[in-house]
Each structure stands twice: as C-alpha cells, then as structure tokens.
Structure 1
Amino acid sequence: MAYRYDHDLEFLRSVPNESLNDLVNLFKEKANLTQGLSMNDKYKRYYPDHQKYIERIMEEIQLFGGNSFSNLFRLNKGVLYREILCDVCDKMKVNYSKYADVKQIEQDLLIKILDDHISKLGPRELEEFLKELDLVDKTETAISYNPQAANAILQTAIKAGGFKSYVIILKTVNMIWKFLFGRGLSLVTNATIARIIGIYSGPVGWAITGAWTAVDLASPAYRITIPMCLLITKLRIESQQNN
C-alpha cells in the first residue's frame, strides 16, 4: 500500500499530535484485522509523535475505505476520502450531492445524524436539546419547538461555520465515541473544551445515541469508516478554528 495524494486529507499534516490521538487509537483498537499502522517502522520509532508518520495514518484512512478484494484491483491502493465519505452517507441515507465540496457533504452527514432523532423528541426536550447546544437563549421560557424548527436552527448553525458549528460536531462525535468505545474523546488536557462537552445526560445524548441503534454496524468496515468520517469532520472544523 502507498498513500495516494488526497486534497481532502492534506489538512491533517497541520493537525497537532494530541488531536490525532483518537484517529490513531481507532485504527489500533478497532482495525485489528490488519494491524497495518502498529506494524509500521515509523510508527514503532516515533509514536506518539504522529506527524512523523502522518502519511501512514492517511494511508490507513484510505485503506479502510475499500475492502481487501477491491484494493487488489486498485493496484494495492486505498480509496480517496471523498469516496469513503460518500459511501458512509449512502449507508446513513444522507441527502447530499456527490459533487459538493467535502466540507458540505460532512455537514450534510452531521445534520442527518441529528435530524433523524430530534424527530423523536417532544417540545420540551427539543428546547433542552437546543439550549444544551447553546443555539437558543437559555433564559427564554414558554417557547414551543417542533422538529422542523429545531432542524432549521441546527442547519443554520452548522452551515454558518465558526465556533458554534465546532461545538455541535465536538459534542456529537464525543457522544458517539462514548457509545461505540465506552469513553469520550481525548480532550481532558483542554479545560475549556472539556467544559463545553459536558456530561451528556440529557436530550442531546439521547438523540445522538439513538442514531446508532438504527445503524447496522455488523460490518467491520462501517465500525471504522462511520466514526472515522465524523472524527475527520471534527478535525477539519477544529483546524479551521485554529487558523
């Protein structure tokens, strides 16, 4: 295998090592059929200085985009990130355009995950949901929210980018990490971010957890590619926040 230049992954070269920990751990803990990354010489020599073997990490991303059979017909090369993301969106039944910018497709994936399950919340729970994400005034009372209104607020915040968009993806990915792996993201070194994430015992947690009860994760590939795409979405927004 060799890394195929991928415009949509190149931003990872500027991501700090500690921010790459969850991505590396995902491959180490869940991709145990290949052990490709942990057997790499640069990994063995430089871990946890992930930037010293960042191309090997990006190669691992591409590797899990295709199964071993199809990789043989790609001259032992993996799949570009856009193709992986579109496959995940198809799996999650996301309404998206495959010709859109990758950032837009990632936003559509995030919106779908949240939208699928806010429809199951009542008006009071929707209000709590939006307040927990800091999308409405927490001092407001006696406001009736419905799923359509909540979805419109979410879409506006996510597509606007900036810090609120970052908070939404951060909380979403953190909850999914807890659901899938039994722990949150590796963010304890940042007190501000840890405070933003919170405990997740309310409607946000219920909605996001519910997203995964309806998804067939029996396939080893999807157990990696779905959380992987969400984590890359989080890293992309995070890198833009830091620029």
Structure 2
Amino acid sequence: MGKFREDKDLELLRYADNEMLAVLVGYLTTDKDGSTRYTESLTGDKDFQAAEGDYQRVWQLIGAELQHFGGDTFVNLFRGKGVEYKEILTDVCKKLSVKTDFSADVIAIEQALLAKLFADSWEKMSEQERTAIRKELKIDGNLAGGAALSAIIAAIRLGGFMSYQVALIAANAVAKAVLGRGLALAANAGLARAIGLFAGPVGIAITALLTVPAISGPAFRVTLPAVVQIAAMRQQLLNQERNFF
C-alpha cells in the first residue's frame, strides 16, 4: 500500500458521508464485472480491514489508493507516492475535452466537468425529459433547447445549489452505470425526482465514455467515476444544510 501524499484537495474525505465514501471504495476496488480489482491494495490492508466499513477512519488509505491509480505505476514504485488529486482531475477533464482554466481551484474544474457531463447527457434526452429537468431545476420555462442548456451550464459553473443538484444527479447515474447501484442518501423530494429523471441519459453518456478505446484505459475507468464522486462529496459538504428538508 502506497503512502498518502498530503493533498488539500482530498482533505474532504476526512469529513465525507460514509455511504458516499463506500461508493468511492467500490470504484477503487471493484472491476467492471464485479470482481475485486487485481491492481487494488485497499482490501488487503490490515487497517482498512480493521475499520470494518467505517471509511472515515481510513480516509487517507482511500486517498492514497486514488492517488496511485492516477499516477504512472512504474513511476510510483520509485517515488512511493501517487499524484495529487488536481492532476488526476485535470487528466480526466482533458481526456473528455472539458474547456476550463486548469490553473483555477478544483471546485471550478469539477464544476466544468459536471457541466460537460450535463451537456453530453442533454443531447441524449427527449424533449419531454428536458422539460421535466427544466422544471425540477427551476429554469425559466420560456427558455428552450440551447438557451435552456446554456442557462443550466452557466448556473452549474457559478456553483451553489445548482452545482449540488447536478453533482448528485451525475454521481448517482455513474454509480448505477458502473456499480449497478445508485447513491444511498437522503434528499428532498424535488432533488430525488431530478435524480430519477436524469439517471438514464447520464448513465448512457457515462457508459459511452467508458467504452471509447482511445480514452477508456483501466486507470480512466477508475479515475472518471472517482472524480465525479469526489465532486459530489465536495458539493454535499458545501451544501449540508440542503441535504435534509
């Protein structure tokens, strides 16, 4: 097991919801056919085993595992540590042709990634699905097509509740597509409806991305779901007062 590399952008794992951490652990340890990933080192770690599912106790082990997936395996052997989260996030975004300022902080980059995933999914929605999403996200009903999408993208990039909604919608769809199960979290009725409406189109978009040979290597099949999950964790922590009402 490699050592955790001090990383301010992964400190949120210390405070993240345990169920959300469980999904991240699933990405790091489970292969696409449901078997244990042969390159993972978490499940064999004695401290990880002793935690018995209390993932907050071993958040640094989880962070270290992600850092090593994001780094070059051969290089990791010599430096003993993986790469920082921002480098992993940036790599994922560049593979997906996300347009953003990569010198910005990770929240802004994560929001750009969420906006890209939303835009890709929007293209796969029926007009009825788009209307329902506009209603749940409280987008002006007079806006249609590209104008509605532009308004949503702008709101996501500004942060706040829209980013929180889309982050959970995307993370839920990714979990269903990759692990076969959605997020186990409490949400208000409106957010739950939006999550349900959007799961299919996002899932289709994510599944397509994970099967493109040019970008979908073994590491990417871990790092893409992982950064979406971490983006959702970060938004959840930033919007804790909205989680239950």
Same fold flag (TM > 0.5) = yes
For residue 209 of structure 2, give the secondary structure of its aligned residue in structure 1.
coil
Equivalent of residue 54 in structure 1, options 49, 53, 59: 59
Aligned-pair distance for 1:121? 4.5
Which residue pairs with 1:88 in the alignment?
92
Which residue pairs with 1:135 in the alignment?
138
Change (3 A) 1:193 1:21: farther
Q: Tell me how far apart the structure 1 counterparts of residues 238 and 165 of structure 2 sit (CA, whole Å).
A: 13
- Runs of 4+ in structure 1 off by over 6 angstroms are none
Aligned-pair distance for 1:122? 5.8
Q: Which amino acid aligns with 1:56?
A: L
How does the TM-score come out when normalised to structure 2? 0.84
1:223-242 equivalences in 2 (<5 Å): 223-242=221-240
Q: Tell me how far apart the structure 1 counterparts of residues 237 and 195 of structure 2 sit (CA, whole Å).
A: 24
1:158-237 equivalences in 2 (<5 Å): 158-187=156-185, 190=186, 192-193=187-188, 196-198=191-193, 202=197, 204-217=198-211, 218-237=216-235
Equivalent of residue 78 in structure 1, options 73, 78, 82: 82
Query: Where do 5+ consecutive residues of structure 2 fail to align?
Result: none
For residue 36 of structure 1, give the secondary structure of its aligned residue in structure 2.
coil
Does residue 33 in structure 1 map to residue 32 in structure 2? no
1:110-149 equivalences in 2 (<5 Å): 110-121=114-125, 123-132=127-136, 134-136=137-139, 143=142, 145-147=144-146, 149=147
Q: Tell me how far apart the structure 1 counterparts of residues 138 and 168 of structure 2 sit (CA, whole Å).
A: 14
For residue 198 of structure 1, give the secondary structure of its aligned residue in structure 2.
helix
Aligned length: 232
Cα RMSD over matched residues? Answer: 2.4
Aligned-pair distance for 1:18? 3.2
Change (3 A) 1:224 1:177: same
How does the TM-score come out when normalised to structure 1? 0.84
Change (3 A) 1:27 1:8: same
Which residue pairs with 2:47 in the alignment?
42
Change (3 A) 1:26 1:216: closer
Asked if the contact 1:122–1:146 (Cα under 8 Å) also holds between the matched residues in 2, the reply is: no
Does residue 67 in structure 1 map to residue 72 in structure 2? yes
Query: Where do 5+ consecutive residues of structure 1 fail to align?
Result: none
